[in-house]
Amino acid sequence: MKTQAKVSILMGSDSDFDVAKSGIDTLKEFGIKVDVKVLSAHRTPIQTHEYIVNAEKEGTEVFIAFAGKAAHLAGAVAANTIRPVIGVPIKSSHLGGLEALLSTVEMPSGVPVATVAINGAKNAALLAVQMLSLKYPELDKKLKEYKENMEKTVLAKNPIMED
């Protein structure tokens, strides 16, 4: 099932791709058009700014930003768009991702970033689908099916015992 909904995925480094992949795959399962770019708030600030402005003009409705360490990418995206921004902190080898979580979630008042768990790519994608389902009835329907299937899978593995 295809939809006109469009999400931009940014990651601070190609080393974030392994985490981002499950989010990208989830969005594609819902038939959402995904534009994926490696852009950094620190290493390519000018190109990041240009991309965000153009993406919004070209129809991106939600941004998802993956970044680790001093993770300023989601904040930098939110500073340059009025579209919703979801931040995914990436786990690091030294500090375990807590530094990225705090860098992503502690936004100043007026510039929100909806921050999911460390490496929470799938939930970021599902949150984006939930936002888009307000506009696209086909996504609303598919989300309901997704939740029903999740419930069935859990109950099949863990049947509720009756007295």
| Contact footprint for ligand RP5 (CB under 6 A) | 12-13, 15-16, 40, 67-69, 90
Q: How far is the CB of 99 from ligand RP5 (least distance, A)?
A: 10
Quick one: the chain helix, strand, coil %, rounded to 5? Answer: 45, 15, 35
Q: How far is the CB of 40 from ligand RP5 (least distance, A)?
A: 5
Distance from C-alpha of 64 to C-alpha of 40, rounded to nearest angstrom: 13
Distance from C-alpha of 130 to C-alpha of 134, rounded to nearest angstrom: 7
The smaller minimum CB distance to ligand RP5, of residues 88 and 139, is found at 88
Q: How far is the CB of 35 from ligand RP5 (least distance, A)?
A: 18
Strand partners, 89: 67
Q: How far is the CB of 125 from ligand RP5 (least distance, A)?
A: 18
The smaller minimum CB distance to ligand RP5, of residues 12 and 30, is found at 12
The smaller minimum CB distance to ligand RP5, of residues 67 and 125, is found at 67
The smaller minimum CB distance to ligand RP5, of residues 70 and 111, is found at 70
Distance from C-alpha of 125 to C-alpha of 135, rounded to nearest angstrom: 16
- Residue 124 three-state SS: helix
Distance from C-alpha of 40 to C-alpha of 140, rounded to nearest angstrom: 33
